[in-house]
Amino acid sequence: MERKKRGRGKQGPQMKGEAGNFVSRKNTGEVEYSPVFLGNSTRNSDSGKATPIANYSFHRNVLSSQPELAQMKQRIRKIETALDSVLKENKRLNMELEYREYLHRIGVSSDQVRGGTTIPVRIYLSDTKGKEKAEAALTRLFESSGIELVAEGDEVYGSWYKIAMARLRGFDVDQYEYLLHKAAEMKLVGKQQAEMDNINATTIKILKDSLAETSSGAAQAGAVLVVKFLDSSGHTQLVAKVLSPREMRHLEMNQQLLKQPTIILEKLSEVIAVEDKQIPPPQKGLPRSPAEKH
């Protein structure tokens, strides 16, 4: 008689899971869950289950990983905050580099514009007919409006484009920026308003004179912009505007707009409108005055 070979019987397939192995029971096809052991083990002959001897460890299940997940999210937020700071600093450095390159293009050393608040003075004429008038106006501007000429770039011919850097006398940076911000948001009061109005009125008059003999052009001295152009009806328009800090920044980054008198005001308005949609309302209100900072 042929003796039947004794065996372990048919076993179901073995499948690996996240936190251990799924193993089948003998001959039944039922599946049970068994943890993963990292050490030696022996199998109980009655139950067929593995019994650990030493050096074993369970894989973490999904619930036990939640604190670790929270820590990871916190680390990601810290990285995002640090990255945002790096991007802001990089933007500031790029703007400073562009400013230095701009000074270099007009033949001005950065050392010349140190010490005091420096503002750009630019005049663009669509023709050279009013060149002498414009130069005379610049001289008057530096003599009578509380600013002094620091450096002057070469004229750009074709039409006529003059660039200079001027320093405000009697103003420090904090005071000037404060006045600009306040003037952009609301009317100043008392002496400050009179001081700002006087500076702007004098500057506007001189810049208007600089454009007197040209058919179209634009002149800027710091926050004051005067534009002369022909409208769609063919009539000459002469518009004066006190720029907000954001408009000044945009004009610094896009100086070619000064050579486009017919569209410069429209472009500035468009940019501010777009920024207003993208930038959330400020939480801290207006900047403090220099006196309040101390």
Say yes or no: 81 and 161 in one domain.
no
Say yes or no: 78 and 161 in one domain.
no
Residue 79 belongs to domain spanning = 65-105
Say yes or no: 139 and 45 in one domain.
no
| Model pLDDT for residues 242-256, shown as the tens digit of each residue | 887 778 878 878 888
Out of 7, 28, 52, a domain closes at: 52
Domain-located, residue 151: yes
Q: Is 148 helix (H, G, I), strand (E, B) or coil?
A: strand
pLDDT at position 137 is: 82
Domain-located, residue 293: no
Confidence of residue 183 (pLDDT cuts 50, 70, 90): very low
Q: Is 162 helix (H, G, I), strand (E, B) or coil?
A: strand
Domains in the chain, number? 3
Say yes or no: 48 and 70 in one domain.
no
Say yes or no: 99 and 162 in one domain.
no
User: DSSP string covering 222-236, please?
Assistant: TTEEEEEEE-TTS-E
With tokens 């308005």, the residue in question is 269
- On the question of pLDDT at 78 being above 70, the answer is yes
Domain-located, residue 285: no
pLDDT at position 227 is: 94
Say yes or no: 139 and 253 in one domain.
yes
Say yes or no: 28 and 134 in one domain.
no
Say yes or no: 119 and 101 in one domain.
no
pTM: 0.49
Domain-located, residue 9: no
Domain-located, residue 284: no
Say yes or no: 176 and 220 in one domain.
yes
Domain-located, residue 58: no
pLDDT at position 58 is: 46
Domain-located, residue 291: no
Say yes or no: 100 and 241 in one domain.
no
Residues 6+ apart with CB under 8 A from 171: 116, 117, 146
Say yes or no: 169 and 99 in one domain.
no
Say yes or no: 94 and 120 in one domain.
no
Q: Is 282 helix (H, G, I), strand (E, B) or coil?
A: coil
Burial 125-136 (b: 16+ CB within 10 A, else e): bbeeebbebbee
Q: Is 237 helix (H, G, I), strand (E, B) or coil?
A: strand
